Amino acid sequence: MGLFNHNFPNKRARQNDKLPALVRTKVKKIKDYNFKNPDKFSKDHLKVLGSIHEHFCRQVSLALNSMLRLPMEFSVANVQQLTYGDFIDSMPEDLITGVLNMYPLVTQFCIGLERHLIGAIMDRLLGGSGVSSLSGDELTDVEVGIIKDTFRRILHFMPEGWQALIPATDDVELVALEATPSAAQIAAPSDIVALITINVEVGSDLGLMSVCIPYSALEDVIVTLSRQSTYRNDKLATEDSRDFIISKLANSPMPVKIVLARGELKLNEVMGLQAGDIIKLNTELSAKSEIWIGEELKYLGRPGQISNNFTVAISEEYEEDLHQIF
């Protein structure tokens, strides 16, 4: 019986030999693709575009605050991709739109600013209080000229943020000005664009500015919009902002006040003052004068005279814990 079992396997063993080996296969994840609105900008691309325009907003806010002497703030609210047709449909009709060229971007892009914001800036430029006076759909030739000048002042700061990524970036050229966004045909309705929405505050007036960049304009430079570039751009933006602030403030007038002496009178004494009266002060003749820069006491010094003008020689920097000011 043992030999028989050795030479002839049982039926169950023969069936097991015919079973195929099990092979484990890894299930592939299938990503949904939207053929109507395909994603051409990655999250990193949109993040870098936001960083570029945050730098632009800082520069414009600082420059216009100094130029118009009116509280102004530009800040990036959102960065997204959508079709150009959806962009046109989502924009308000009173958005005055400029068509732009900027090398090395291969096609045009556009920037839009709400009519009442432009009107407020124009009014301030012309010496007003910053209240919009633009009315009606049609713009006069004078208004068009002032609006173009306003756009050029704003666009002057746009290339700087791009230069951190693309050193060859040139100045922005305002090619055309349109009264409505639908009149600016820079792309086909189905083309994908990046939309940067910017909140704008002009005094107490609030509104938005939109920057629309077609994907086709960035095709040649899209490889530079990476996560690594974001950090580099932020660092350069901080350094550029500091240098820009210093250069702008360098020629700003600062009030300087010299306090020679201090004293104190009662109210009835002040009310009885007349020409020829002598007021005795609490400051000794040997005491140093206070030198105030703006609203801050910065130095102590000695008064003097050059020709017919009073002067003061700075003796030391004021330190509150070392001096008692009466």
Highest mean pLDDT among 150-164, 185-199, 220-234: 185-199
Per the CB < 8 A criterion, the answer to whether 46 and 194 are in contact is: yes
My answer on whether omega of the bond before 104 falls inside 30° of 0, hence cis, is yes
CATH number of 256-317: 2.30.330.10
C-alpha 94/C-alpha 114 separation (Å) is 6
> What whole-number percentage of the chain has pLDDT above 90?
14
* Reported pTM: 0.58
Q: What is the mean pLDDT of residues 144-158?
A: 87
C-alpha 263/C-alpha 259 separation (Å) is 11
C-alpha 133/C-alpha 81 separation (Å) is 34
Segment 27-72, tens digit of pLDDT = 666 555 555 556 788 888 888 899 899 999 998 888 888 787 888 8
Q: What is the mean pLDDT of residues 61-88?
A: 88
C-alpha 44/C-alpha 60 separation (Å) is 24
Per the CB < 8 A criterion, the answer to whether 285 and 274 are in contact is: no
Cβ count within 10 A of residue 11? 7
Per the CB < 8 A criterion, the answer to whether 212 and 87 are in contact is: yes
C-alpha 141/C-alpha 136 separation (Å) is 14
Beta strands at 72-83 and 192-202: parallel, antiparallel or unpaired: antiparallel
Q: Which of 53, 94, 92, 50 is nearest to 74 (CA)?
A: 53
Count Cβ atoms within 10 A of the Cβ of residue 197 and give its class: 0-12 exposed, 13-18 middle, 19 or more buried: middle
Q: CATH 3.40.1550.10 in the chain: give the residue spans.
A: 43-249
Segment 217-245, tens digit of pLDDT = 888 777 776 544 444 444 444 555 667 67
> What whole-number percentage of the chain has pLDDT above 70?
78
Q: Which of 125, 100, 134, 102 is nearest to 207 (CA)?
A: 134
Q: CATH 2.30.330.10 in the chain: give the residue spans.
A: 256-317
Per the CB < 8 A criterion, the answer to whether 50 and 56 are in contact is: no
Three-state SS at 284: coil
Segment 268-307, tens digit of pLDDT = 888 988 998 888 888 888 888 899 888 888 899 998 888 8
CATH number of 43-249: 3.40.1550.10
